[in-house]
Amino acid sequence: MTQRDGGAVAVLGRSVVPTSSTSTTGRAGRWQLRVAFLLGLVALLGLAAVRAAPDDSHVIGIWPVGAATGVLVLAPRRHAPVLLGAVLLVALLTLSLAQRPAEVVVGYTATIVLETWVVSRLLLAGGEGPWRLVSDADLRRYLGAGLLGGLFGLAGGALTSAATGFGEPGFVGLALGASHLASQLVFTPLWARLPGHGPIAHRPERVLQWGLVLLLAPAVLAPTLFPPVAFLLIPLLAWSALRVSPREALAQLVVVLALAVVMTTAGRGPFADVLVLLDLPRDARAVLLAAYAATCALIVVPLLLRVGESVEAARAAAAERDTLGRIVQSATGMAIVGADREGRITLFNPGAERLLGWAAEEVTGLPTRVLHSTGQVSAKARELGVADDFASVSARMLEPDMAGADMGFVRKDGTERMHSMTLGRITDEAGRVLGYVSTSEDVTDRVAAEDALREALARMQEVDAVKDAFVSSVSHELRTPITSIQGYLELLGDGSFGDLSEQQRSAVAKVAANSERLLTLIDDLLTLSRVQESGLGLERKVLDLGDVVRAGCGVVSPGGERAGVPIAVEVPGVPVPFLGDRDMLERVVINLVGNAVKFTPRGGRVEVVLRRNEQGSTITVVDTGIGIPRAEQERLFTRFFRSSLAQAQAIPGSGLGLSIAHSVVTQHGGTLRAESEPGAGTTFVLELPAMA
């Protein structure tokens, strides 16, 4: 059959690419020649079947309906109606030569034509060819086609017999059904695209097989009065199906069945005299011969398909093995070590040779224990909490959660290197362990770097702790003299030590302002120290958040007015209760509003809004200031952080206020976040949970 698909034409299992209209015409001529030859074969075999049938029988032998099916299978579907007419003509011409009534010939012909059409469509799955017989699905379709052909023969024979009164309907249907079943099962594989493997057997074995077929078949089929001896040929056919190519196995099947038909027609062999033995009607000979042919086909065809699948599976396995081997050999940056069930090394790839210094032939057959020192095994056993022996460590390393665990390996020169290793079992389909394989890469430098980083981190933590202790101590020590300085400045300012000139008053005011800033910084450092050591120790009481917001804004408002940045405050007209530390929450408001004023140029504005909802309360502080770059916002609440814009504009600050505010809000169970764009201002959102 031909099929055009993407410019390629498949002809009876072969694929070629057309190069010109001449080559396409040539291929079309080839399938026409094949179909013409097959039609001639159908006519010849049909005539032989009719001539071989006894005149007093009611059937026509094994008419080649399977070959007629091949006519439609091999041709393009568009030619099927014409070819089906040719089949009808051949069937009428051959069957009319039999000594049968005309109405019987018409009934048998109609059965053959209808069966040929339906079975060919089934084999081609309703589409175009080629008809393939290589998989289990194809085998099911093949068996279904044979069974369908048998059912058509059974129904057609029985109906024809019943309608014409020619013979007993049940027996005629059985005889015709058996012959059509055998014909479909034997002939249809000949037109299929079969598994593409060649013969497994060597030439001497194939010569022996053919010799046995040609010599043993006549000898087995010659004796009379002993039908079971014919089945001795079935093991020979099964041997062929297992060892030679599919086409050759089918050829041997056809030869054996042809000998059986010829000898039975000649009145010799186990099927010729069985009628006398068992006192059966003449038509029983066709039934027995068809059953024998169907049995042989049902053994040979499935076997050759199984062999084809095995050959393909072996090829795929070999290709996969070669691919895996190339991958293993090319993995020069990874050590791949394989071992058998006893732990003896069977695979040592070039990567293992490079990383461990051993040649593959030096370690093949040695236990994998030689790759690990006693000290490394003991250290790993302590780390994993298992017994101090190699078997226990290996068993634990096989667990899935240990993939990528570090394990020490010993190089040939005695140096120890640390590898990140994954150890796994190799099992068969039944789950039996066949061996083990480990993949590893040298991570000694990485482990050393990690150890160095851990040591550096520990030292940094020690230094940080010392620094924090120093800052806390110094802050406590500085608070007393600064407080004393502020007291004396107040005495100077109110004239307790005599009147001051205007210039002196200005100097005292500047010193007092800087002392206040210094005292604020010391308070921030002390508060930060409390947060790091043991938390803030909040004194929680029921309070009104509206009062907290108003009080905090009241502290900052004078400075805002002097800076030309008015503060707009919006709070609910009813109390907003909350359980918290009033001083600390007020400090948060002062910090947020003070920052808003400090980072907003003159003429800008600051809005503070308190809202209450079912989830709790929200304090929003919005300014129109310089903003904060997006890349720096994630560091906004870290200690001593100051944005690049604040530093560029020399705006004073310690970088501690937002860190303390964040800690206070967090310890109250709330959240604090910022939304900002450079030059477009900043919005701080403080969310506190509802009071239970």
Contact 618, 592 (CB under 8 A): no
User: CA 287 to CA 275: how far, in whole Å?
Assistant: 11
What CATH number was assigned to the domain covering residues 450-533?
A: 1.10.287.130
Return the closest-CA partner of residue 585 out of 624, 528, 536, 535. Answer: 536
Exposure letters 470-504 (e unless 16+ CB within 10 A, then b): ebbeebeebbeebeebbeebeebbeeeeeeeeeee
Contact 150, 65 (CB under 8 A): no
Helix, strand, coil percentages, rounded to 5, for the chain: 60, 15, 25
pLDDT value of residue 7? 36
pLDDT value of residue 20? 44
Contact 186, 66 (CB under 8 A): yes
Let me know if the fold of 331-442 is the same as that of 450-533. no
**Beta bridge mates, 409:** 417
Sheet-wide strand order for 14-16: 4-5, 8-11, 14-16
Contact 568, 527 (CB under 8 A): no
User: CA 82 to CA 93: how far, in whole Å?
Assistant: 17
Q: How many CA atoms lie within 13 A of 471 on its CB side?
A: 18
pLDDT digits (tens, 9 = 90+) for 586-619: 888 988 888 888 888 888 888 999 998 888 899 9
The CATH H-level superfamily of 331-442 is PAS domain (3.30.450.20)
Beta-carbon contacts of 145 under 8 Å, excluding residues fewer than 6 positions away, are 69, 119, 122, 123, 184, 188
User: CA 344 to CA 434: how far, in whole Å?
Assistant: 12
How does DSSP assign 97-131, residue by residue? Answer: TSS--HHHHHHHHHHHHHHHHHHHHHHTTTS-S--
- pLDDT exceeding 70 applies to what percent of the chain? 83
**Beta bridge mates, 580:** 541
pLDDT value of residue 333? 84
Helix (H) or strand (E) holding 298: helix 284-330
pLDDT value of residue 11? 33
Contact 565, 604 (CB under 8 A): yes
User: CA 65 to CA 205: how far, in whole Å?
Assistant: 34
Would you list the domain boundaries of the chain? 1-193, 197-328, 331-442, 450-533, 538-689
CA angle 288, 289, 295 (to 5 degrees): 90
Q: What is the pTM of this model?
A: 0.53
SS3 state at 315? helix
Two structure tokens written together for 354: 């490079």
Beta-carbon contacts of 220 under 8 Å, excluding residues fewer than 6 positions away, are 229, 230, 232, 233
User: CA 530 to CA 667: how far, in whole Å?
Assistant: 13
Two structure tokens written together for 678: 């450079």
User: CA 301 to CA 185: how far, in whole Å?
Assistant: 9
Largest distance between two CA atoms of the chain: 157
Report how far Cα 283 is from the mean position of its chain's Cα atoms.
Answer: 60
Contact 593, 643 (CB under 8 A): no
How does DSSP assign 31-50, residue by residue? Answer: HHHHHHHHHHHHHHHHHHHH
**Beta bridge mates, 345:** 339
Q: Which CATH number fits domain 1-193: 2.60.200, 1.10.1760, 2.30.240, 3.90.70?
A: 1.10.1760
Give me the amino acid identity at 369.
R
- Give the class (CATH, top level) of 538-689: alpha beta
Residue ranges, the chain, pLDDT below 70? 1-29, 54-58, 126, 129, 223-228, 269, 272-283, 464-480, 517, 520-537, 639-655, 692
pLDDT digits (tens, 9 = 90+) for 502-545: 787 778 777 777 777 677 666 666 666 666 555 556 778 888 89
pLDDT value of residue 411? 92
Q: Indicate the Cα dihedral angle 407, 411, 414, 419, nearest 10°.
A: -20
State the angle between helix axes of 233-243 and 284-330 in degrees (0 to 180), rounded to the nearest 10: 30
DSSP H helical segments within 188-283, as ranges? 203-221, 233-243, 246-265, 274-278
pLDDT value of residue 648? 62
Q: Left (φ > 0), alpha (ψ -120 to 50) or beta: where does 7 sit? A: left
pLDDT digits (tens, 9 = 90+) for 119-147: 999 998 867 767 889 888 899 999 999 99
pLDDT digits (tens, 9 = 90+) for 191-250: 898 988 888 889 999 999 999 888 888 887 776 655 667 788 889 899 999 999 999 999
